[in-house]
Structure 1
Amino acid sequence: MASELHQTIFVAKKERYKNLFLNYKNLNHFPVEMLKDEGLQFLERLYMKRNSLTMLPDNLAQKLPNLIELYLHANNIVIIPEAIGNLAHLQSLDLSSNALQLLCPEVGRLRSLRHLRLSNNQLKSLPPEIGNLQFLETLDVSMNQLASLPDRLHRCSSLQHLSADHNLLSRVPRHLCYLARLTQISMAANRLTCLPLDLGGSRELQFVYVDNNLDLKGLPSYLYNKVIGCSGCGVSEHPRQQSQDEALNEALSGLPSEVKMVASEADRVIPLEELAMRTLHRLYNRQQRHRTDGNSLPGVPLPKSLLDLLQFPLGHCHRCSQAMFTVIYPKLFPMRHTDLAGVHRRTTVSFVAYCCSSHCLRTFKLNDVGALTAMS
């Protein structure tokens, strides 16, 4: 086997191969023949699936500088070297089904990366530097031990497919709602209690899968006309008949801490704090459209936490698209029966509309959702 491997690599160097297949070779170490002399300067695609590799060489980028695709599925890799960030042309990296416990921040230097697959590892966190991958289209972190996703993930402006099934996630970062190209998000079998108020407001997002999140009892009504997998959500061991108020309270459990008031039709006067935030938001957006070089409002110094909230409101009214910050007016609707819902487990989750005023709450209907424009 060793002589066969040596011959394969020798021919690859001599013939200037662009693709090299080393799958199922029982490799315990990265072949030193690939790293000798000038390495494999012309190699663009390296397939090393289903071996027993435990690490990658530090000089990988130096010896294989033109790699576009690197497939390392089903090895025993525990850590990847910081030098991985030097693979300037890398577009696809598959490290799924390994033993990764940590992902180095240098991954954020892979500025050409389009597809990153990290499923079935032992990751407990992701570095915020992932937000630097502006061309990333696919991110798969399913079957790990993630308790959260980095807030800076919204900077991956090209992201289209996000899979985070079978983790320990209790929330979805609301910033993800601002990913204009996101078409599919899958977070089945986590610990979600609620979803961002704006999720589904984008025209591009069409597929949302949140199956088997037992404490998820309410979905934003923006998702009503989307293709949704939600079987096994809101399941109770002892189901009982609930009043409308009880069902609504359960659906609202887990709302962001910034929501200071859940209002009703009777609450006609919007709190001053909410009105102030909406006014600042309009000023902030106006400044951004005519931006000079500041990060705050002219003459209004604001702390970073407040600036973040102005840039990414908790949600937008499902009736008129007005930004909302500290108060919401919720309206509960029965679940829409779909082919995807209730296939494996009975689903009791409902849809909740979030409005910015009692007037919008009264006039909102579910068929308005399709007519709404994408959030501003």
Structure 2
Amino acid sequence: MASELHEAIFMAKQERHKNLFLNYRNLNNFPVELLKDEGMQFLERLFMKRNSLTTLPENLAQKIPNLIELYLHSNNIAIIPQAIGELVKLQSLDLSDNALQIICPEIGQLRSLRHLRLANNQLKFLPQELGDLRELETLDVSMNLLRTLPERLHQCVSLQCLTADRNLLHCLPRQLCLLPDLNELSMAANCLTSLPLDLGRSMELQFVFVDNNAHLKGLPSYLYNKVIGCSGCGLALQISDMKQLCLTLGDVTVPLPSEVKAIGSESERVLPLEELACRVLHAAYDWTCKDVKLRTPFLMPKSLLDVVQWPLGHCHRCSQPMFTIIYPKLFPLRETALAGVHRSTVSFVAYCCSSRCMSTFDLQA
């Protein structure tokens, strides 16, 4: 293995390769051959994924000054040297799946950086100097221990995709609403209780993922026409074989949704009863029959009939109709025939939305 490594580096130096692949080499230390003599002045892309590196050399920028892309995914790197800021041409830096606890402020000196990936580390905070990265387009800090994001992050005026899933975030800096090019914002599986009211005001922001934030009670009205990610309809993908509960309405027997069996269980998420009732009525009603009098042996008020007849959407996972909770891939109701129907029933829908819902709309907006 060592001889293969030496040969690969020797050939790269001899032929002045711009790309060097050192993935899966069982490296515990940064190869000294890369740093000998004048180093590798011509190297632009260095791939060192899936090794066991614990740190980077202090003279990396001096020996490989023209690096454009540096991929260090899946190592054991705990410390980034301050000299990282001297890689002034670096455009892509991947330090995902390492052991980082701190990111040095000098990272803000990488003024050419466009893509920064720090996912799956042990970061508890990020330096404010990230705001100096004016060319940054992608930032992934998911699966860390972050409780907040830097307020100066809004100075990353080129930022298009911000991912911070699976952290401990309780809120988002309102300044994020100022990001002019932000197109995708993913904050799934955090501790969010609210979102900035101006979030989504920018026409550029089109995708917002906030599923698995159990205490998030609502969404800003500006997100109404965006694509929203959430946890689906609430049903498990695999239906239990247990005997179904049934509801008898006159001569009609209607099977109840499987969630009803979970009521009272702390380990199961229970949907609002209004949502369950709408699904039962929707399933029991014969919408194909044109004669209203012949549809079912039970009658519903017209206001309730309108709600049950037109779901807000269907779950992207199981196609289950959804009535009082937000549809994960919502198409703007304002542009459909449903807009008038749901505007007239806004009080009913607003009442049905409960704090158990992962995300709901303020339909009055």
TM range (shorter): 0.5 to 0.7
CA displacement 1:185-232 (0-9 Å, x = unmatched): 000000000000001110000000000000001100111110001227
1:49–1:75 Cα contact (<8 Å) kept: yes
The answer as to 2:109 corresponding to 1:99 is no
Pair 187,338 (structure 1): closer, same or farther in 2 beyond 3 Å? closer
Residue 138 of structure 1: how far off its partner (Å): 0.2
What corresponds to 2:71 in structure 1?
A: 71
One-letter amino acid of the counterpart of residue 49, structure 1: K
What corresponds to 2:28 in structure 1?
A: 28
What corresponds to 1:198 in structure 2?
A: 198
SS at match of 1:111: coil
* 1:8-157 matched pairs, under 5 angstroms: 8-157=8-157
CA displacement 1:248-279 (0-9 Å, x = unmatched): xxxxxxxxxxxxxxxxxxxxxxxxxxxxxxxx
Q: Separation in 2 of the partners of 1:30 and 1:336?
A: 50
Match of 2:327 among 298, 320, 337: 337
Match of 1:352 among 338, 345, 362: 362
What corresponds to 1:295 in structure 2?
A: none
What corresponds to 1:288 in structure 2?
A: none
After TM superposition, the score normalised by the length of structure 2 is: 0.68
SS at match of 2:208: strand
**Structure 2 alignment gaps of length 5 or more:** 235-265, 275-323, 332-355
1:206–1:226 Cα contact (<8 Å) kept: yes
Residue 352 of structure 1: how far off its partner (Å): 3.0
One-letter amino acid of the counterpart of residue 163, structure 2: S
One-letter amino acid of the counterpart of residue 349, structure 1: S
Q: Separation in 1 of the partners of 2:39 and 2:11?
A: 13
1:218–1:349 Cα contact (<8 Å) kept: yes
Q: Separation in 2 of the partners of 1:28 and 1:348?
A: 44
| RMSD of aligned alpha carbons | 2.4
What corresponds to 1:175 in structure 2?
A: 175
Residue 336 of structure 1: how far off its partner (Å): 4.3
SS at match of 2:361: strand
State which structure, 1 or 2, has the greater radius of gyration over its C-alpha atoms: 2
Q: Percent identity?
A: 69
Q: Separation in 1 of the partners of 2:66 and 2:233?
A: 46
Q: Separation in 2 of the partners of 1:232 and 1:194?
A: 19
SS at match of 1:219: coil
**Structure 1 alignment gaps of length 5 or more:** 243-333, 354-364, 367-376
Pair 83,233 (structure 1): closer, same or farther in 2 beyond 3 Å? farther
Q: Separation in 2 of the partners of 1:238 and 1:72?
A: 42
Q: Separation in 2 of the partners of 1:104 and 1:8?
A: 32
Pair 127,347 (structure 1): closer, same or farther in 2 beyond 3 Å? same
Q: Aligned pairs, how many? A: 261
1:213–1:233 Cα contact (<8 Å) kept: no
2:215–2:358 Cα contact (<8 Å) kept: no
